[in-house]
């Protein structure tokens, strides 16, 4: 397929042909926990997104979640909501996001890239076409919080067909029976939202989080990632030895907005010790 003037061969570095779970558990990272960072594409602009990703690679992050903005991001809190709206207001399109992703997958081979978005963005592109384009670019996983798995079989099948991992989410409120189902359906890893609510609010990491992770561990057949409300190195340390991946989203954007790229560099050092 042609994209951004180039032929997409599906032979990109970090290709999704190497399964995400193997990369997470089998990689020689030497880190006690892997870090997944996050960017809302087109916010504040693609150049800043690119520089942020450069910082992620330099700091030792392993996975990057690239969010394609949506006008109705119901699972996102105020910081991400604003970023979604601002990105769209500046004219960000799905095509631009795919082109950008293709560029960063090529330029930053040490990182594994995933897309996060909402189901309507995928549907309007064409479900199979979207997943196929992701595979061709080298996007390894897709996080689509409103693609309720029981209602989204076409999406799940397209992911399996094109070897792009559908990353499913569980919460402390997910029953053990459902957790087993979601664990069987998810690809790559299981995304554990550490609490109820939307993104961006502080989570109090303690016994309840630990009990939740232990319960997930006892059922899940995949690596697990914990996100929602991680704001400091202390939160990450808490998760070491418990979770395979810590996901940091809103706090990165807040630091970028308040302290710029140099602030992000400093923040990443506190999150990921050299």
Residue 59 or 117 having the CB closest to other proteins: 117
Q: Please report whether residue 212 would count as binding other proteins according to CB under 8 A.
A: no
Rounded distance between C-alpha atoms, residue 20 and residue 123, angstroms: 24
> Which one of 65, 102, 235, 244 is the catalytic residue?
65
**Distance (Å) of CA 255 to CA 31, 244, 263, 266:** 23, 24, 6, 10
Residue with tokens 């180039």: 6
Rounded distance between C-alpha atoms, residue 94 and residue 137, angstroms: 14
Q: Which class for 234: exposed (0-12), middle (13-18), buried (19 or more C-beta within 10 A)?
A: exposed
Annotate each residue in 38-77 with x if it binds other proteins (CB under 8 A) or - if it does not, as one string: --------------------------------xxxxxx-x
Q: Please report whether residue 82 would count as binding other proteins according to CB under 8 A.
A: yes
Q: Please report whether residue 240 would count as binding other proteins according to CB under 8 A.
A: no
Q: Interacting stretch for other proteins, rule CB under 8 A, among 17-25, 44-52, 197-205, 262-270?
A: 197-205
DSSP letter assigned to residue 265: H
The two tokens of residue 94 are 């799905």
Q: Interacting stretch for other proteins, rule CB under 8 A, among 23-31, 132-140, 165-173, 213-221?
A: 165-173
For residue 26, the tally of other CB atoms under 10 A from its CB is 10
> Which one of 22, 47, 72, 76 is the catalytic residue?
76
Residues at the interface with other proteins (CB under 8 A): 70-75, 77, 81-82, 85, 88, 93-94, 118-121, 123-125, 145-148, 151-152, 168-171, 173-175, 178, 182, 193, 196-198, 201
Catalytic annotation, residues: 65, 76
């Amino acid at each position: 397929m042609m994209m951004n003037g180039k032929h997409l061969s599906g032979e990109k570095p970090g290709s999704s042909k190497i399964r995400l779970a193997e990369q997470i558990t089998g990689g020689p990272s030497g880190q006690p926990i892997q870090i997944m960072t996050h960017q809302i594409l087109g916010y504040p602009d693609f150049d800043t997104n690119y520089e942020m990703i450069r910082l992620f690679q330099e700091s030792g992050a392993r996975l990057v979640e690239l969010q394609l903005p949506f006008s109705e991001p119901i699972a996102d809190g105020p910081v991400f909501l604003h970023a979604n709206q601002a990105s769209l207001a500046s004219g960000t399109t799905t095509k631009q996001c795919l082109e950008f992703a293709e560029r960063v997958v090529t330029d930053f081979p040490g990182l594994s890239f995933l897309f996060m978005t909402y189901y309507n963005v995928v549907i309007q592109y064409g479900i199979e076409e979207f997943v196929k384009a992701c595979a061709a670019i080298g996007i390894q996983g897709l996080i689509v919080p409103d693609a309720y798995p029981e209602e989204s079989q076409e999406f799940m099948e397209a992911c399996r067909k094109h070897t792009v991992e559908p990353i499913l989410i569980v919460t402390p409120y997910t029953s053990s029976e459902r957790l087993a189902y979601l664990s069987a359906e998810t690809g790559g890893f299981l995304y554990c939202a550490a609490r109820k609510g939307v993104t961006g609010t502080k989570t109090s990491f303690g016994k309840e989080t630990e009990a939740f992770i232990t319960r997930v561990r006892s059922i899940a057949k995949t690596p697990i990632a914990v996100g929602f409300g991680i704001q400091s190195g202390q939160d990450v340390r808490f998760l070491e030895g418990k979770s395979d991946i810590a996901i940091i989203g809103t706090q990165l954007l807040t630091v970028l907005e308040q302290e710029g790229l140099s602030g992000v560099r400093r923040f990443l050092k506190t999150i990921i010790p050299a």
